[in-house]
Amino acid sequence: MPRIPREYSETGIYHVMVRGNARENVFIDNQDKGKLLKIIFEKKKDELFLLYAYCIINNHAHFVLKELKESISNSMKKITTSYAIYFNKKRNRVGHVFQDRFRSEVIKNDSYLLSAIRYVHNNPEKAGIATKEEYPWSSYQFYISHDSKVFEIIDILKYFSPVPEEAIIQFKSFSNQIEKRKFLDIQERKIINQNDIIFFIEEFLKNNNMEKTDLHNNIYNKQMADLVIELSTRFDLSIRKISEITNLNREKVRKMCRKNRPHDSPSQG
């Protein structure tokens, strides 16, 4: 079947989403996420687009972009192709990295733009990964930073106030408001057989000479953390789901996930 033509944005601004082929994780570790950011900022330096917001999750990423020198299709093709080459080489694999072409929706006005930025920044909370303040792989950190030098972010903050300090305060408040609009999202989660998860946990415990009751023994904290990270990355499970399966306290699971991520913000270069 022929592809449906991509809707054209009169403002030149789009909310864009890419996701892993078969909904697999394609931004698996911090090096992967950092590489994608490096590629994006390299293309941005070439004035291909303006970047209003981004958020990178393990199996997908969101961007709010404005076309400049090239169409959004050409810019995204350059970004995804560069990343796919890196990803396949790193893992000695071949084949598609991303599922189909990227998805996009037009941003029609300023109100829609601000809502899209809020939606993108709140993705980690929606996924049960971390709060937007804690998550290092989104542009939210630049918005609330008083030393931000990103030109388009400064322009966005001016919608809230011409005074930088007041603009950041109002932006934070706006970011915490409930989003009523519907945006592009991962509508189909990877289908995981519950028996596969149970088998994996049983094998993990066996290989570590543990019983399931040992998961609540602080002596095995390292093993518990390793299991939590494996369940998160291998099966793309949320913190809530991991807590239910392992019967571990949800906050404890959250802390284990947080401890295995760097808290410093990624650089632009």
Write out pLDDT tens, residues 171-186: 999 999 887 766 666 5
Question: What is the model's pLDDT at position 147?
Answer: 67
Question: What is the model's pLDDT at position 52?
Answer: 95
Question: What is the model's pLDDT at position 169?
Answer: 95
Q: In terms of pLDDT, which residue wins out, 58 or 161? A: 161
pLDDT bin (cut points 50, 70, 90) of residue 188 is very low
Mean pLDDT of 2-30: 81
DSSP state letters, the chain: -PPPPPPPPTTSEEEEEEEBGGG--SS-SHHHHHHHHHHHHHHHHTTSEEEEEEEE-SSEEEEEEEESSS-HHHHHHHHHHHHHHHHHHHTT--S-SBSSSPEEEE--SHHHHHHHHHHHHTHHHHTTS--TTT-SSBTHHHHT-TT---HHHHHHHTTT-SSHHHHHHHHHHHHTSPP-S------SPPP--HHHHHHHHHHHHHHTT--GGGGG-GGGHHHHHHHHHHHHHHH---HHHHHHHHT--HHHHHHHHHHTS--SPPP--
Q: In terms of pLDDT, which residue wins out, 149 or 256? A: 256
Question: What is the model's pLDDT at position 22?
Answer: 66
Mean pLDDT of 78-90: 92
Mind listing the pLDDT tens digit for each residue in 195-253?
Answer: 778 888 888 888 889 888 888 888 888 888 888 888 877 777 778 888 888 888 888 88
Mind listing the pLDDT tens digit for each residue in 20-47?
Answer: 876 678 898 899 999 999 999 999 988 8
